Chain A
Amino acid sequence: MKYMIQISYAPGQSASSWNAYEFIQTALKEGHEVLRVFFYHDGVYHGVCPRLPSGRAAFFPDWIALVRVYNIALVVCTSALERRGIHPTNLTEGFQTGGLGLWMDASLKADRVIFF
Chain B
Amino acid sequence: MYSKRYLFLFRSAPQKNCRTSELLDNVLTVAAFDQPVTVLFLDDGVYCLKSNSSPEDTHRFSVSFSSLAFYAIRDTLVEYESLKERRLTVLDCSIAATVIYRSEIAGLVATHDYVVST
Taking beta carbons and an 8 Å cutoff, which residues of A are in contact with B? 8, 40-41, 79-80, 83, 99-101, 103-104, 107-109, 113, 115
Overall SS of chain A's interface: helix
B98 at interface by CB-CB < 8 Å: no
Q: Which of A79, A83, A99, A115 has a CB less than 8 Å from the CB of B116?
A: A115
Q: Which of B18, B22, B33 has a CB less than 8 Å from the CB of A104?
A: B33
B48 CB, min distance to chain A CBs, angstroms: 16
* Residues of B close to A41: CB separation below 8 A: 18-19, 22
Complex-state Cα separation, A79 to B4, whole angstroms? 24
B30 at interface by CB-CB < 8 Å: yes
Looking across the interface, which residue of chain B has its beta carbon closest to that of A109?
Answer: B2
| Contact between B114 and A107, CB atoms less than 8 A apart | yes
A78 CB, min distance to chain B CBs, angstroms: 11
* Residues of B close to A115: CB separation below 8 A: 116-117
* Residues of A close to B21: CB separation below 8 A: 83
Overall SS of chain B's interface: mixed
Complex-state Cα separation, A115 to B115, whole angstroms? 9
Looking across the interface, which residue of chain A has its beta carbon closest to that of B3?
Answer: A108
| Contact between B22 and A40, CB atoms less than 8 A apart | yes
Complex-state Cα separation, A80 to B22, whole angstroms? 8
Looking across the interface, which residue of chain B has its beta carbon closest to that of A77?
Answer: B22
Q: Which of A80, A83, A103, A113 has a CB less than 8 Å from the CB of B29?
A: A103
| Contact between A100 and B26, CB atoms less than 8 A apart | yes
* Residues of B close to A107: CB separation below 8 A: 4, 114
> Would you give 30 A-B contacts (Cβ < 8 Å), ordered by A?
A8-B19, A40-B26, A41-B18, A41-B19, A41-B22, A79-B22, A79-B25, A80-B22, A83-B18, A83-B21, A83-B22, A99-B29, A100-B25, A100-B26, A100-B29, A101-B29, A101-B33, A103-B26, A103-B29, A104-B30, A104-B35, A107-B4, A107-B114, A108-B2, A108-B3, A108-B4, A109-B2, A113-B114, A115-B116, A115-B117
